[in-house]
Amino acid sequence: MNILESLLSNESSGIVSELAKQLGVGEDQARTAASQLIPALTRGLRNNTATDSGLSNLITALQEGSHNNYIDNPSTLGLANTVNDGNSILGHIFGSKDVSRNVANYGANQAGLSSSLMKKALPILASLVMSALSKKLLGKGSKSSGGGIFGGGQSNNNSDIFGTGIATNQNRGMLEKFLDADKDGSMWDDLLSMAVKVAMK
């Protein structure tokens, strides 16, 4: 099960319900928004973790943050701190606000939803994606100790599961499998390449 399937599964109905509440739409529309935007987020993460340093930076961010709280306590999705954290995550994933806006606009066109709704959804979904990664890769959170939909079979002692081989093919493969939520990989690559162009200006 990849990250998109995990976040939108029946077992995650509380998350979907809270997302819908924060967006002011029905659950079906919330699922549609998530199904369009999460692949862009995961594509960006996969691009960022393609290098050893990128993978190391992601694991460090997961270890030092409290991202698991968003899934364990969906009501936190409506807090200003969650949105701020999500915007910070978006900055790391996409590199610029222009890329975030283009992702939201493209997702809106594909989903038949407003751009403003998709822009509102992006930081919340970014927080949820990091929360799911925290639970899957590090075993953080009360719901991950027994496996569950996010549990990666890891212990809850918060040790670095990547140990001495933080960039091994095996560990990167596990991450890429979980992040494999692409709908239109080539389109997302085109959009995300803007981050490089902006950075070079």
pLDDT digits (tens, 9 = 90+) for 129-138: 999 888 887 7
Comparing 35 with 11, the larger pLDDT belongs to 35
Quick one: which H or E segment has residue 18? helix 13-23
Residues 43 and 192 sit within 8 Å (Cβ to Cβ): yes
Residues 174 and 165 sit within 8 Å (Cβ to Cβ): no
Distance CA 131, CA 129 (A): 5
**DSSP class of 184:** -
What are the extents of the domains in the chain?
A: 3-200
| pTM of the complete model beyond 0.85 | no
Residues 123-132, buried b or exposed e (16+ Cβ, 10 A)?
bbbbbbbbbb
Neighbours of 57 (CB within 10 A): 14
**Is the model's pLDDT at 75 over the cut of 70?**
yes
Percent of the chain exceeding pLDDT 90 equals 29
SS3 127: helix
Residues 182 and 39 sit within 8 Å (Cβ to Cβ): yes
Comparing 129 with 191, the larger pLDDT belongs to 129
Q: How would residue 198 be classed by pLDDT, with cut points 50, 70 and 90?
A: very low
Distance CA 157, CA 82 (A): 25
**Is the model's pLDDT at 6 over the cut of 60?**
yes
Q: Tokens representing 173?
A: 């493969």
